[in-house]
Amino acid sequence: MALASIGGWKLAALRYAIRGQRGIHLDNRCFKISDEVREAIHSRKPVVALESTIYTHGFPYPDNVALASHLESTVRVHGGVPATIGVIDGIARVGMGTEELVRLAASAGKDTTLKLSRRDLGFICGMGLSGKTRSGGTTVAGTMLLAHLAGIKVFATGGLGGVHRGGESSLDISADLTELGRTPIAVVSSGCKSFLDIPRTLEYLETQGVGVATFADGRKGHTNFPAFWTRESRVSSPAVVHDEKEAAAMIYAQRSLSITSGLLFANPIPAEHSIPLKQMDGVIATAIREAEQRGATGKDNTPFILRKIKELTSGQSLPANRALIESNVIRGTRVAVELSRLEI
Ligand code: PSU
Ligand code: MN
């Protein structure tokens, strides 16, 4: 269809969509890319996106500040440029300065600090334009969307949302899964926690056209899709990669084929930090029961269960959590470095 035959508003929408796809030129009243990240994307440096729900709804203040700055340094040490993503005072930010990061982390736990998935971004930024400025941490879904808008291709995080147990009737299926189906970002995570329904999560990802590959376990003949604190989930991974080069090649191939869905790379927790699946089973059953009793459903379900697990393991899960995120950030950075080599 010739452009001239399209109505005025449709043309404007088309221009808007094209600009959005190119991403890196887009900076507006609702969306800002930091100078460092913009320059890195322009010069094709390996940029790694980092989410912020883990700071606003996961780790307490001030531990979350220490973790945030540690993860950013980890990206740099391994040759990448970090882009922490979140919403501060109603503006979606890709790349934050220290002052902004500390401010977001310090707002953890407050009622006014929101957990932001795809559906929440229009609300928080729209309210910002109307003078009701609020801040929030972006989930995997929210972070993927904003990272893609900025032109970033690799994102490292801890755990992914999934299909909740009983999800076949409650329809509580994390928007992380549909986001992976529609946004071409490679996410490196430790799989998902076994309070979720892992077999159904993998089925749903298959339906969404998401490539899922687990980094091989060198000591075993088979590779499970990992369950966060544990390397085992009793569920085989759909595909296996052996190193970051292979992972980068998959991203490169998807782009070459114009496949617009995302990729999920599962990186099992370092063995020395893993907590046995059997030990977690009881803890998780209790956490799920309490969430049901307290009516913690919808967006509050995941944070409630995570908090409860933390209590029940008397903090044993926090160091493991930290170790696996760090390991994912190192993997993610190496993947981004290999990808930028392939793209030269
Ligand atoms: N799972 C974890 N740790 C987390 C989350 C999930 O083990 O921090 C966070 C992530 O930000 C993820 C979000 O994107 O929770 C999923 O929430 P929901 O299930 O409401 O989509
Ligand atoms: Mn949910």
Higher pLDDT, 21 or 247: 247
Gap between the Cα atoms of 150 and 50, Å rounded? 13
* pTM listed for this prediction: 0.92
Residue 5 has pLDDT above 70, yes or no: no
Neighbours of 226 (CB within 10 A): 28
> Cβ(54) to ligand 1 under 6 A?
yes
Closest ligand to the CA of 141? 1
Q: Read off the pLDDT of each residue in 84-94 and give the average, rounded to a whole number.
A: 98
pLDDT surpassing 90 at residue 128:
yes
Does residue 8 register a pLDDT over 90?
no
Query: Is the CB of 304 inside a 6 Å radius of any atom of ligand 1?
Result: no
Q: Is 228 in the pocket of ligand 1 (CB under 6 A)?
A: yes
% of the chain exceeding 90 in pLDDT: 81
Residues paired with residue 136 on neighbouring β-strands, in sequence order: 87, 114
Angstrom distances, CA of residue 242 to CA of 200, 248, 258, 327? 25, 11, 24, 15
Residue 232: pLDDT band (50, 70, 90) is confident
For residues 190 and 324, the answer to whether their CB atoms sit within 8 Å is: yes
Spatial contact of 156 and 331, defined as CB atoms under 8 Å apart? yes
Nearest to 269 by CA among 261, 260, 277: 277
CB atoms within 10 A of CB 78: 17
pLDDT at 316: 77
Q: Which of 293, 320, 316 is nearest to 305 (CA)?
A: 293
Could you confirm whether 45 is annotated as catalytic? no
The pLDDT of residue 7: 54
Given this model, what pLDDT does residue 310 score?
Answer: 87
pLDDT for residue 278: 86
Tokens 């409630």 sit at which residue? 304
The alpha-carbon radius of gyration of the chain (Å, integer) is 19
Residue 344 pLDDT:
85
Pocket test of ligand 1: the residue of 53, 185, 230 to mutate, having most ligand atoms within 8 Å of its CB, is 53
Name 278's Cβ contacts closer than 8 Å, sequence gap at least 6: none
308 assigned to active site: no
| Ligand 1 neighbourhood includes 161 CB (under 6 angstroms) | yes
Q: Which ligand is nearest to the CA of 171?
A: 2
3 state SS for the chain: CCHHHCCHHHHHHHHHHHHHHHCCCCCECCEEECHHHHHHHHCCCCEEEECCHHHHCCCCCCHHHHHHHHHHHHHHHCCCEEEEEEEECCEEEECCCHHHHHHHHHCCCCCCCEEECHHHHHHHHHHHHCCCCCCEEECHHHHHHHHHHHCCCEEECCCCCCEECCHHHHCCECHHHHHHHHCCCEEEECECCCCECHHHHHHHHHHCCCEEEEECCCCCCCCECCECCECCCCCECCEEECCHHHHHHHHHHHHHCCCCCCEEEECCCCHHHCCCHHHHHHHHHHHHHHHHHHCCCHHHHHHHHHHHHHHHCCCCHHHHHHHHHHHHHHHHHHHHHHHHHHCC
Q: What is the dihedral of CA 287, 275, 244, 216, to 10 degrees?
A: -110
Please give the share of the chain, as a percent, with pLDDT higher than 70.
Answer: 92
What mean pLDDT, rounded, does the chain reach? 92
| pLDDT at residue 219, rounded to an integer | 61
**pLDDT at residue 43, as a whole number:** 95
Q: Which two tokens stand for residue 165?
A: 């147990």
More confident residue, 281 or 220: 281
Catalytic residue among 51, 72, 244, 338: 51
ipTM of the complex: 0.98
Least confident of 32-36, 95-99, 301-305: 301-305
- Specify the pLDDT at position 56: 97
Q: Name the residue with higher pLDDT: 12 or 164.
A: 164
Which residue of the set 193, 299, 308, 310 is catalytic? 193
- Residue of 160, 193, 324 to mutate, ligand 1, most atoms within 8 A of C-beta: 160
